[in-house]
Structure 1
Amino acid sequence: MLSRVAERLYWLARYIERVENTARLSKIHSQLMFDLPKSVKLNWYTLVEITSNEDYFDEHYDARTEKNCMWMLLGDRNNSASLISSLWWARENIRTTRDSLPREAWVYINEIYLYVKDNIDDLQVRSRRNALLEKVIRTCQAISGMLMGTMSDNAAFRFLMMGQLIERADMTSRILDVGGYFAAQEYNPEEVEQYGSILWANILKSIGIYFMYRQAVQIEINGNSVIEFLVYDDRQFRSIKYCANKMHELANILPNSREVLKVIKQLQDLIDQPPEMEAGSTTLHDYLDVLQLKISAIHNACYRTWFYPEVEAVSGSVQ
């Protein structure tokens, strides 16, 4: 397989995963803002912080309003991390790799991009925005399911999976950091108990695993148990440990993967030997920061190994 084809497949999967996660996060956050009282320090700008777009937002927007935050995250074509930009990049990557994928993948991605583009004004109205985001989520799930159900376990599929797993692990760590930020605020114990469970339940819903958590964890929802489930559970597809283990399996099969395996092993060791921490602690925040750096290091190692040897990876889009 040509390196440029492998790179585009890798990014295609990352963008599909990013689009779904962004849509889920935005939809659930809208609900969460009305479940929590005004005394709880959680606002629309939290979404900007989750996606590390603070610099872009501060440069291009003058107020931290719902309209501005949502437009930057969803409809701002000049923001490379927005939902519409990610859809455009997914469409471009699949357009140039159609020979490696089932035809239905191109049809689904092209249709959802054109649908969002034609209805982009709906992002300005909350009720219509949530309906649009629900359609985006369902389409992303259909694309992922179709690829999983129809492709052979070949090099193209493995690069798709590698991209998906890296993007998923990164977003999981960012969402957990938001929950930790809330838990670190100074509220009285009754508020923490009452509203903390609402926040953590919505965090689980934002990545679509609320039901699986309730099946696996037979206690009331709390920050520490959610963190344990999303970081250390090796059977939960969205947990960072599961993603790291699957990355290791894929890299073992892909060629010339010594450096990639080495960096993935560093992430696995970090997960297997965590410090003592709990929701709201600075230790948790620092630990999640290190996890994100390790995930980024895996991305860079993929670039040096398979896409552009001896060239540092780009962080935003295919060049």
Structure 2
Amino acid sequence: MLSKVAERVYWLARYIERIENTARLAKVHSQLMLDLPKSVKLSWYDLVQITGNEDYYAENYDSRSEQNCMNMLLKDRNNSSSLMSSLWWARENIRTTRDILPREAWIHINELYIMVKNHQEDFGVRAKRNALLSTIIRSCQAFTGMLEGTMSHNETYRFLKLGMLIERADMTTRLIDEGGLFVAQEQFENEEESPFDAILWANLLRSVSAYFMYRQQYQTEISGQEVLHFLTQDKDFARSVSYCLGEMSFIMRKLPNPEPMQNALELLQKKISAEQKLNIGSNELHQHLDWIQRELSQINGLLYDNWFNPKQVA
């Protein structure tokens, strides 16, 4: 398998996962803005911070309105992490790798791109936006299921899975961090636990489709500390950080020269086990989640060094 082809397949999966996560994030945040009273300091700009787009937003937008924040997150093609930009790149990557993927996969993504492009003005109207986001989420899930059930689980499929898992783990840490920062702000201002924390964590769980599985495991009132443990350390839930890292390590065993990435993954998994000592809203947790994101970025770099852009040995 050519390294450039492997790279395109890897990024195809990352973009599809990013599209789904972005759609979930926007939809659930809209619901959260309705559920929480105006006295709670939650803003549309939080979406900009979760996705790490503060600098881009400051350069291109003049106010922190719902319209601007949603435009940046969903429509703005010049923003490399927007939903439309990710969808365009996903389409390009699958278009150039059609010879190694099922034909149905190309048709599915091409039709999704055309549909969203034709209806992107719906992003500006809340009711229409939520309906369109729900359609996008279902389409991404259908695509993932299609590949799972119709592809040989060979090298092509393994690079697809690696891209999906690393993107999923990164977004999970960002959502937890944003929830923790909100709790820290509430505690600083009120000097006590906010009665709205449970609403916040319930919506955060829904943003990663974790609410039902969480409620099966924890029968008590939703707790930020338990949400933290579930989304980072649970080894059975498909969207937890630990599960994603474990699956990446397993997949890499079947690829050539996996040792550098596996060593980095092992170190990261050990570090995550220390999260049980970290408190929601603490600066230590914020720093810890930042560290995980940097480590995931480093693992992405190792993937490039080893498989996508290997150094030539004289």
Question: What TM-score do the two structures reach when normalised by structure 2?
Answer: 0.96
User: Who is 1:6 aligned against?
Assistant: 6
- The whole-number CA distance in structure 2 between the counterparts of 1:149 and 1:301 is 29
User: Who is 1:173 aligned against?
Assistant: 173
> 1:258 deviation in Å?
1.6
User: Who is 1:162 aligned against?
Assistant: 162
User: Who is 1:31 aligned against?
Assistant: 31
- Maintained 8 Å contact 1:266/1:294: no
> 1:189 deviation in Å?
6.8
- The whole-number CA distance in structure 2 between the counterparts of 1:121 and 1:78 is 17
> 1:299 deviation in Å?
0.6
- Could you tell which deviates more after superposition, 234-243 or 36-45? 36-45
User: Who is 1:203 aligned against?
Assistant: 204
> 1:188 deviation in Å?
3.6
Partner amino acid for 2:66? Answer: E
Correspondence 1:82-121 to 2 at 5 A: 82-121=82-121
Q: 1:135-160 deviations in whole A, cap 9, x for unaligned?
A: 10000000001111111110000000
**Structure 1: 5+ residue runs without aligned partners?**
312-319
SS at match of 1:273: helix
User: Who is 2:257 aligned against?
Assistant: 256
User: Who is 1:306 aligned against?
Assistant: 307
Q: 1:125-180 deviations in whole A, cap 9, x for unaligned?
A: 11111111011000000000111111111000000000000000000000000110
User: Who is 1:42 aligned against?
Assistant: 42
Q: 1:32-52 deviations in whole A, cap 9, x for unaligned?
A: 011112222210000000000
User: Who is 2:266 aligned against?
Assistant: 265
- The whole-number CA distance in structure 1 between the counterparts of 2:171 and 2:139 is 19
Partner amino acid for 2:89? Answer: W
- Maintained 8 Å contact 2:229/2:275: no
Q: Where in structure 1 do 4 or more consecutive aligned residues deviate above 4 Å?
A: none
**Structure 2: 5+ residue runs without aligned partners?**
none
Partner amino acid for 1:5? Answer: V
Number of corresponding residues? 310
- Maintained 8 Å contact 2:17/2:167: yes
Instruction: Indicate yes or no: 2:70 matched with 1:70.
Output: yes
SS at match of 1:41: coil
- The whole-number CA distance in structure 2 between the counterparts of 1:135 and 1:205 is 16
Identity of aligned pairs, percent? Answer: 58
- Maintained 8 Å contact 2:229/2:276: no
- The whole-number CA distance in structure 2 between the counterparts of 1:303 and 1:263 is 14
- The whole-number CA distance in structure 1 between the counterparts of 2:59 and 2:298 is 28
Distance 1:191 1:287, change over 3 A: closer
Partner amino acid for 2:292? Answer: L
> 1:190 deviation in Å?
7.1
- The whole-number CA distance in structure 2 between the counterparts of 1:128 and 1:253 is 44
RMSD over aligned Cα atoms: 1.3
- Maintained 8 Å contact 1:172/1:230: yes
- Could you tell which deviates more after superposition, 39-48 or 159-168? 39-48
Question: What TM-score do the two structures reach when normalised by structure 1?
Answer: 0.95
SS at match of 1:52: coil
Q: 1:95-144 deviations in whole A, cap 9, x for unaligned?
A: 01111111111111001111111111111111111111011000000000
